[in-house]
Amino acid sequence: MGLPTSYSQAYGVLGEFFGKIRDAQAPDKFGHQNLKDLGFKSNNHRPFIPLMKSLGFLSSDGSPTQRYHDYRNHSKSREIMGEAIKEAYNDIFLIKSNPTDKDKDLVQGKFKSYHNASDNVAKLHSNTFYALLDLADLNHNPKPNIQDKQEEKQAAVDNKLEDVITPKTLSATRVGLHYNIQIHLPATKDVEVYNAIFKSLKEHLID
């Protein structure tokens, strides 16, 4: 997707702004009046709207998208922002999968070359990106579904069964089943102990 052209000099309040749109009811259309209603009345706040469009929170006509609505779920908001910035700032993640503050010069240089921008504008792009990054979870691992959990439990059972497999297979011929049984013999020189164990096996397990 490249890199967005939108940035804001008011990047320092992006966290507050996205917190407010997460907590407020989504409007039918998001415009400058909505910014003012949320307390963002400066001209420096106006770029928040094209930025939201770049992030996929608003459609081209200002209508909130499904991503906007999903973001309002507090338990998913950081995950949703992570997805949004990975899409919007794809070129950054192609050169650094998990950007940190140590990469700021690299990120700023990317903005400068991509947009043929001045140092100041490239820095504003970079600061806007990092302000959004603070709101995101880039490493979200989805929870396994029920089927996955069942398969994991079955695998655990299978592993335990493998631990007790021995070359000796006893057959229950009446029901057509085969059991692999491992016997831990006690350390003793008394032959009668072993005789008693094998006699019990014969009586209870073998027809």
Give how many domains the chain has, as a whole number: 2
Within a domain: residue 92? yes
3 state DSSP class of 6: coil
Top-confidence residue, 110 or 180: 110
* Residues spanned by the domain of 62: 11-133
Q: How confident is the model at residue 158 (pLDDT cuts 50, 70, 90)?
A: low
The answer on 165 and 83 residing in a single domain is no
Within a domain: residue 178? yes
The answer on 86 and 55 residing in a single domain is yes
Q: The pTM is what?
A: 0.67
Return all residues near 77 (Cβ < 8 A) that are at least 6 apart.
18, 22, 71, 135
Within a domain: residue 42? yes
The answer on 168 and 119 residing in a single domain is no
Q: How confident is the model at residue 146 (pLDDT cuts 50, 70, 90)?
A: very low
Beta bridge partners of 179: 170
The answer on 122 and 193 residing in a single domain is no
Q: Find the mean pLDDT for residues 39-67.
A: 97
Residue positions counted in the chain = 207
Top-confidence residue, 8 or 142: 8
Whether the pLDDT of residue 51 is over 80: the answer is yes
Give the pLDDT confidence score for residue 150 in this predicted structure: 56
The answer on 191 and 115 residing in a single domain is no
Nearest-angstrom CA–CA distance, 108 and 123: 6
Share of the chain above pLDDT 90, in %: 66
Whether the pLDDT of residue 166 is over 90: the answer is no
Within a domain: residue 1? no
Q: How confident is the model at residue 195 (pLDDT cuts 50, 70, 90)?
A: confident
The answer on 80 and 111 residing in a single domain is yes
Q: Taking a C-beta distance cutoff of 8 angstroms, is the pair 96, 54 a contact?
A: no
Please say which residue of 133, 162, 192 terminates a domain: 133
User: Which pair of tokens denotes residue 84?
Assistant: 């949004």
Amino acid at 84: A
Give the pLDDT confidence score for residue 106 in this predicted structure: 95
Beta bridge partners of 58: 64
Whether the pLDDT of residue 22 is over 60: the answer is yes
Whether the pLDDT of residue 187 is over 70: the answer is no
Buried b (16+ CB within 10 A) or exposed e, 96-130: eeebeeebeeebbebbbeebebeeeebbbbbbbbb
The answer on 117 and 32 residing in a single domain is yes
Whether the pLDDT of residue 155 is over 70: the answer is no
Q: Find the mean pLDDT for residues 78-86.
A: 97
The answer on 100 and 38 residing in a single domain is yes
Within a domain: residue 118? yes
Please say which residue of 72, 104, 133 terminates a domain: 133
